[in-house]
Structures are given as C-alpha cells and as structure tokens.
C-alpha cells in the first residue's frame, strides 16, 4: 500500500468522539433492522382449524382493531380468506388464523375478531358487543373443537360491532336476527375473552 492510498483510507475514519458515536449508532440501527421480524404484510396468513388447545390461549387483544396498520395488514386479509374456511362451521375466530414469517416464526392473530359463517359468505366483525333484550331465554348447544356445552342464555339482544367489508369498516348496531344468532354472539364473546370453558363448567 502506498502512502497516498493509506492517507486516503484513514481520511474516512471518525476523528472525534461524536463521529465514533454516530457511526456506532448507525451500525446498531442497521443490525436491528436486519434482525427485525418481518412485517405483518410479509407474513403468510394460514388457517388453523379449531383445536381444544385454543381454549387455553389468553383473551384476544381488546383494542388491536383500532390500530390502522393492524387493520390494513392483518384484519382485512383475515376477512378475505375467512369465508373459504367455514366448511360447516358457525364461526371462526382471530386465533384460527396464524401469520407465518419463517421457520419457527409464527404469530397468532390477536384481536377481537369473529367471522359468522353463512351460505352467502358471512360477516367478519371486530369489537363485538352484546346487550340482552327482554327476559326470554334459550338453551344453546355450543361447541368448540371437541368441547361441548349447553348454556341457558338470553334469547334476544342488541349486537354492536364494526363490519369489515372490502377493507372498509362500518359501524353496525342491530337486534339479533334469531335466538340462534343470540347464542352465537354470546358464545363468540366468551371464546374471544377466554372465559367460555370456565363459564361452561368444562375446567
């Protein structure tokens, strides 16, 4: 190496403490970015059929659906594919969908999302709330995976939720269309809140 080329190389080295600090900071940021997990959009969304082990999961995140990025990159995608996986089921839940980012890198969808299945495709809703109406009751036959319970519940109620349609969110407040839908709404809330197994006496 000639003296000129040596001086040219040295000219690029930091010469003050501040420059060394900025270089270290830049290298740290680059390392963090290279090691960061893939974004939600980079993950493959896969369906996980209901399993009794799902009932051991904690409650789904109550306000995640208010996060604009999560709505765009996760919830909208779940709403698109959920009707494809109903196959005789009454409802699908957030935890029935998993985001895979690579080998051993999986995230369960974590929000208050439920998809009510129907012959027409159904409805994907987030932030579901249920308010009983009247005093009439109905015996609901409820099932999740291989767990079954009969529950006496209000036969009618008001449902409030945000309906996910083509990437848009429309606030809905309406009465349940049947006692069966009342059963399903209340069952769904307990599944999402991780209380159904306990309240059904299955623990």
In angstroms, what CA-CA distances link 111 with 69, 97, 136? 13, 11, 31
Tokens of 1: 């190496």
- What's the gap between Cα 42 and its chain centre? 16
> Which residues lie closer than 8 Å to 155 by C-beta, 6 or more apart?
134, 136, 137, 138, 179, 182
Position 6 scores a pLDDT of 47
Beta-carbon-side half-sphere exposure of residue 143 (alpha carbons within 13 Å):
7
Alpha-carbon gap, residue 98 to 117, rounded angstroms: 19
Alpha-carbon gap, residue 4 to 7, rounded angstroms: 5
Position 12 scores a pLDDT of 58
For residue 176, the 8-state DSSP code is -
Contact 140, 151 (CB under 8 A): yes
Position 102 scores a pLDDT of 74
Q: Which CATH code for domain 40-199?
A: 3.90.45.10
Phi then psi dihedrals of residue 118, to 5 deg: -155, 170
Position 196 scores a pLDDT of 98
pLDDT per residue as tens digits for the range 138-163? 999 999 999 999 999 999 999 999 99
pLDDT tens for the 203 residues of the chain, in order: 444 444 444 445 667 777 666 666 665 655 543 434 457 778 899 999 999 999 999 999 999 999 999 999 999 999 999 999 999 999 999 999 999 987 778 999 999 999 999 999 999 999 999 999 999 999 999 999 999 999 999 999 999 999 999 889 999 999 999 999 999 999 999 999 999 999 999 98
> Which residues lie closer than 8 Å to 2 by C-beta, 6 or more apart?
none
Alpha-carbon gap, residue 198 to 190, rounded angstroms: 9
Tokens of 118: 């129907």
Alpha-carbon gap, residue 142 to 140, rounded angstroms: 6
């Amino acid at each position: 190496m000639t003296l000129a080329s040596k001086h040219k190389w040295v000219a690029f080295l930091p010469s003050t403490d501040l420059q060394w600090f900025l270089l270290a900071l830049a290298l740290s940021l680059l390392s963090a970015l290279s090691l960061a997990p893939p974004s939600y959009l980079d993950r493959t969304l896969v369906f996980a059929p209901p399993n009794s082990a799902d009932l051991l999961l904690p409650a789904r995140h109550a306000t995640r659906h208010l996060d604009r990025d999560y709505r765009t990159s996760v919830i909208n995608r779940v709403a698109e594919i959920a009707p494809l996986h109903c196959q005789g089921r009454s409802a699908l839940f957030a935890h029935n969908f998993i985001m895979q980012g690579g080998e051993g890198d999986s995230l369960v969808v974590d929000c208050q999302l439920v998809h009510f299945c129907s012959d027409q495709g159904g409805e994907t809703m987030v932030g579901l709330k249920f308010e009983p109406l009247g005093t009439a009751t109905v015996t609901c036959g409820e099932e999740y995976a291989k767990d079954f319970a009969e529950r006496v519940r209000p036969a009618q109620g008001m449902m409030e939720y945000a309906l996910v349609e083509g990437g848009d969110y429309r606030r809905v407040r309406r009465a349940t269309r049947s006692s069966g839908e009342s059963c399903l709404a209340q069952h769904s809330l307990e599944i999402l809140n991780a209380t159904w197994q306990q309240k059904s006496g299955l623990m």
